[in-house]
Every structure is written in structure tokens, then in C-alpha cells.
């Protein structure tokens, strides 16, 4: 690289030119409407409905508040089956609602919740399943829905990574009772901070809108113990601007993904996840699994990358089930989660984002090859 001191992170937000954003700020100031379902907020909800191919979408200040509210909207209680291989917000949203997470192992190929392990974890207290579309790769939604239908359970997808991901039947976000997106600055599409809940009908959307605004139905009527989860006009405006460049950003991510795959195919001890193909993947992350036959351990490679200014991340290590608030739960026992534990000890996510240059990719690949 030209600048040996430059630091490269796993992902970096695609920032438009400041002069592109200024007109939006001027309009917000002119409107004197900073939050509470303003005009840019409404425009972004409609634009995302159209772009993503979903019927109803409620914007939130962040994805964690959206997860918490999704559970409240469906009145989930008791136990919820989920994955230990995710960001902690997945399980934290359950604890915030007084719900007990029940961890189930992951599939060794997709790294998503393993449908074959779900039924054995269901108890009379189970009310829902919360899978994660890990790295944006779709879960086995048909099998999960079949299990949910058989046992009378709700399905809430943590789709934080799954912006714009499609299947043969359309958006993956249309599956389950609700899907939850994150628009954090590190995501494929971001609003600095933000998130959304996708639902199937206007009545549910209205209920969610009440919940994210303290439960207010009108100026003097509160219908539920809601939260302050609203997205501001500034975040909404930034989202509208970001949406203009999202197709180009996805194309750049796909190109970087292809270069990694081509160059790493001949590197012994490095395994890439299967390529799901355009639109089935949004190329939000590029995880590799460091095998025992690689010349150094995963942690040694991780340190080598960091020492050279490449801030790769071990997503997801440790497992959620290893954190103090979860590890005493029976389902968190290491023997119950052998696949998740093995993957967590092997994974490194390499940098992938628009603006990552060919030279920088070559530098990263050189560190992996030598």
C-alpha cells in the first residue's frame, strides 16, 4: 500500500460527498421537523418498501430497539430458540423482554441455526424461534416455518445482515412473522444508526409504530408501554441519499468477494463459505475459516493482520453463550454447541466494502499467503 500506516477495517461506511447531504439538512431546518415521523422518514419507509420488495416497514433508531420491539409486538414470552453464533444484540433483546434464550447449534455449511436441532429444544415454555441470516446468507426458511407451524410458534428473523438479499420467491425479509434489519454504520446500507421491522400487514405496522413512540395512539391516548425507538429526520435523509448508491456499492462488494475467492482457493488451510451468488448474497461480510493445516493458528493470523494495519474481526467470537449472563444456562453448555464452538475458534472476517482498492486487497491477500 502507498501508506504503510493506513488502517483497514472489516467494513467502512460509504459516505456521500458532503455537498450532496447539505440540501437535505437545509430542508430539515426549513421544515423545522427534526423527528417524530417527518417527511424524510416517510419517504425513506416508502423507498425501502419499493427497493426491498416488502409491503410494510417501520423505521427505528437502531436495530436493537427494533428487535426488542418486535418481540413486544408479538407478545413473546417464556423461551425463544436462537443461535449462539451472532452479535450479542440478538440474545440481549430477549433478556430485555424477560425472555429466556435457548441456544441451538448451527449448520456447519451455512453457519445459520440448524433446523434439525430445533425440535429437540422445544419445551412447553417455547413461544418463538429467532434465527439469524448470518452474514446475509438466508436461513432454511421453509424448514423453520414448518417446525414453527407444527408447534404453534412465532418466527422473528434477525436479518441485521440481510439487506437486499433475495431468494427465488423474492425478498428473504418477507419470511417469518417479522424480520428485523440493522442500519448501523458498518452495514451494507446504513443511516449512521438505524434499523427497521418488516411485517406483512398494515395493522401490525400500526401497532409497531405505536410501540416505537411510547405507545401513543394520538396526542392523549397511550395504548401500550412503548419505547422511544423513532428514527430522526437526519438519519432518514442520510438513508435516502445512501439508497441512491446502493446498487453500485453491492456491485463493488461482489467484485471484492470474487477476488478473495479466486486468490484464496489455492491457499491450504483457508476455507471460504460457499458463494450464494448475486442477490442471494449481499456480500456484507467475507468470513474465512482457518483450518488446523494452515501454517499458523487463527489467533496468530488475526494478530499478524492487526500488526499490519488490517483490523479484521473474529465475527463471532466468543459465542454469545460464553458471556457471563448466558453461560450458566443449560443450552449454553459447550457440548451442546460443538459446531458453533469450532467455527467461533476458526473464523476471521476480512475487510470488504466499497472503496477498498485492488492494491489493498492484494496487500491483505499477501499477508494470508505468506
One-character DSSP codes across 79-92: EEEE-SSS-THHHH
- What would the mean pLDDT of 194-202 be, rounded to a whole number? 98
pLDDT band at 281 (very low <50, low <70, confident <90, very high): confident
- What would the mean pLDDT of 260-270 be, rounded to a whole number? 97
In a domain, residue 2? The reply is no
In a domain, residue 281? The reply is yes
50 and 199 in a single domain? The answer is yes
207 and 314 in a single domain? The answer is no
So what's the pLDDT on residue 6? 74
> What CATH number is given to the structural domain containing 95?
3.40.640.10
Distance CA 335, CA 30 (A): 60
Assess contact for 196 and 215: CB atoms under 8 A: no
Question: Residue 64 sits in which domain range?
Answer: 18-244
So what's the pLDDT on residue 280? 79
298 and 365 in a single domain? The answer is yes
In a domain, residue 97? The reply is yes
Does position 4 have pLDDT exceeding 70, yes or no? no
118 and 131 in a single domain? The answer is yes
346 and 363 in a single domain? The answer is yes
209-259 tens-digit pLDDT: 999 999 999 999 999 999 999 999 999 999 999 999 999 999 999 999 999
pLDDT averaged over every residue in the chain: 95
Q: Indicate yes or no: pTM above 0.85.
A: yes
Give the DSSP per-residue string, 307-338: HTTEE-B-TT-S-GGGSTTTTTSGGG-GGG-H
So what's the pLDDT on residue 369? 94
Does position 112 have pLDDT exceeding 70, yes or no? yes
In a domain, residue 1? The reply is no
Over pLDDT 70: what percentage of the chain? 98
Does position 2 have pLDDT exceeding 60, yes or no? no
- What would the mean pLDDT of 279-294 be, rounded to a whole number? 93
307-357 tens-digit pLDDT: 999 999 999 999 999 999 999 999 999 999 999 999 999 999 999 999 999
Does position 278 have pLDDT exceeding 80, yes or no? no
Instruction: Indicate the SS3 state at residue 306.
Output: helix
Cα 357 to the center of its chain, rounded Å: 24
Matching residue, cell 417501520: 58
Does position 148 have pLDDT exceeding 90, yes or no? yes
232 and 264 in a single domain? The answer is no
218 and 285 in a single domain? The answer is no
In a domain, residue 322? The reply is yes
pLDDT band at 1 (very low <50, low <70, confident <90, very high): low
Over pLDDT 90: what percentage of the chain? 91
> What are the grid coordinates assigned to 174, written together?
418477507
So what's the pLDDT on residue 27? 93
Cα 118 to the center of its chain, rounded Å: 21
Distance CA 81, CA 103 (A): 6
Assess contact for 120 and 169: CB atoms under 8 A: no
> What are the grid coordinates assigned to 1, written together?
500500500
So what's the pLDDT on residue 3? 56
So what's the pLDDT on residue 13? 73
Quote the number of domains for the chain: 2
Does position 16 have pLDDT exceeding 90, yes or no? no
112 and 217 in a single domain? The answer is yes
Amino acid at each position: 500500500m502507498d501508506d504503510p500506516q493506513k488502517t483497514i477495517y472489516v467494513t467502512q461506511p460509504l459516505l456521500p460527498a458532503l455537498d450532496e447531504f447539505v440540501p437535505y439538512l437545509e430542508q430539515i431546518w426549513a421544515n423545522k421537523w427534526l423527528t417524530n415521523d417527518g417527511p424524510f422518514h416517510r419517504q425513506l419507509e416508502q423507498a425501502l418498501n419499493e427497493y426491498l420488495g416488502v409491503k410494510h416497514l417501520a423505521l427505528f433508531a437502531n436495530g436493537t430497539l427494533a428487535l426488542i420491539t418486535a418481540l413486544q409486538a408479538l407478545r413473546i414470552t417464556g423461551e425463544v430458540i436462537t443461535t449462539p453464533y451472532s452479535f450479542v444484540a440478538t440474545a440481549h433483546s430477549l433478556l430485555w423482554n424477560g425472555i429466556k434464550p435457548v441456544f441451538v447449534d448451527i449448520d456447519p455449511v451455512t453457519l445459520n441455526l440448524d433446523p434439525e436441532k430445533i425440535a429437540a429444544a422445544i419445551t412447553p415454555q417455547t413461544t418463538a424461534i429467532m434465527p439469524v441470516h448470518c452474514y446475509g446468507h438466508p436461513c432454511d426458511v421453509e424448514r423453520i416455518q414448518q417446525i414453527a407451524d407444527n408447534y404453534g410458534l412465532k418466527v422473528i428473523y434477525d436479518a441485521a445482515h440481510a439487506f437486499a438479499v433475495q431468494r427465488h420467491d423474492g425478498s428473504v425479509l418477507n419470511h417469518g412473522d417479522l424480520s428485523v434489519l440493522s442500519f448501523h454504520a458498518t452495514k451494507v446500507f446504513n443511516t449512521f444508526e438505524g434499523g427497521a421491522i418488516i411485517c406483512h400487514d398494515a395493522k401490525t405496522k400500526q401497532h409497531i409504530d405505536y410501540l416505537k413512540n411510547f405507545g401513543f395512539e394520538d396526542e392523549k391516548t397511550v395504548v401500550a408501554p412503548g419505547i422511544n425507538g423513532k428514527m430522526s429526520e437526519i438519519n432518514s435523509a442520510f438513508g435516502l441519499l445512501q439508497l441512491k448508491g446502493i446498487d453500485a456499492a453491492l456491485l463493488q462488494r461482489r467484485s471484492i468477494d470474487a477476488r478473495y475467492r479466486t486468490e484464496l482457493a489455492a491457499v491450504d488451510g483457508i476455507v471460504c463459505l460457499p458463494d450464494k451468488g448475486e442477490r442471494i448474497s449481499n456480500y456484507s461480510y467475507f468470513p474465512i475459516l482457518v483450518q488446523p493445516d494452515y501454517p499458523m493458528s487463527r489467533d496468530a493470523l488475526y494478530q499478524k493482520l492487526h500488526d499490519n494495519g488490517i483490523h479484521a474481526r473474529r465475527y463471532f467470537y466468543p459465542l454469545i453463550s460464553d458471556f457471563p449472563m448466558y453461560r450458566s444456562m443449560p443450552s449454553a453448555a459447550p457440548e451442546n454447541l460443538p459446531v458453533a464452538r469450532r467455527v467461533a475458534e476458526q473464523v476471521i472476517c476480512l475487510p470488504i466494502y466499497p472503496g477498498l482498492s485492488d492494491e489493498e486487497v492484494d496487500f491483505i491477500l499477501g499477508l494470508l499467503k505468506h
